[in-house]
Amino acid sequence: MKITICITTLLLGSILLCHAESENKYNCPTRFHSISGDFDVQGRFDEMVKANRGMTIRHKHVRVNNKEEEYDYTIAFCGAKNAVIQKDIDEGNGKQIGEPRSLGTYKNSSLVGGEDWMFIMYREGQSYNSHCHNARKESWINVRCEDKGEVKKFEHYIIVGIRFP
């Protein structure tokens, strides 16, 4: 069983979905939608959360000036104040630099899915300070499942993208 997780940090953008609302007792995504069929997206998400409440992923970004920047992304699928936290990491000693940043919360979060995938959208993270029109950060997480959507093992990679109006 193989699972692939992509994390996409977006500056601006939104998706319109037909969705069902649910009560947000546990700080989890509140809007659920299945694409072309009844794939029990909420049930599969609940099973994934039971198996793995969250994770931390370390990723290096290479910028235009060929300078590498390293970050830890901590994802809490449910339960914490912030769904996704980004921390700058000193490449020399592997320790955190500065304060962590929120890349998304549970407020107005959404979950959409199909036969073998789920897409989690956490919105309303910290605002950008001096660029991107002070837009609030968002994290979009793609979970790819195999064997009819069963979730057992996580394998992940990160895609960080930027969209401007």
User: Could you tell me the CATH number of the domain that includes residue 126?
Assistant: 2.70.130
17 within some domain: no
Q: Does 161 have pLDDT greater than 60?
A: no
Does the predicted model carry a pTM greater than 0.85?
no
* Position 84 in a domain: yes
pLDDT at 6 over 70: no
Q: How many C-alpha atoms does 65 have within 13 Å on its Cβ side?
A: 2
What pLDDT, on a 0 to 100 scale, did the predictor assign at position 155? 45
Name the domain count of the chain: 1
pLDDT, tens digit (0-9, with 9 covering 90-100), for 108-139: 888 888 877 888 888 888 888 877 788 888 88
Are 104 and 91 within 8 A, CB to CB?
A: no
- pLDDT reading at 90 higher than 50: yes
- H or E segment at 43? helix 41-51
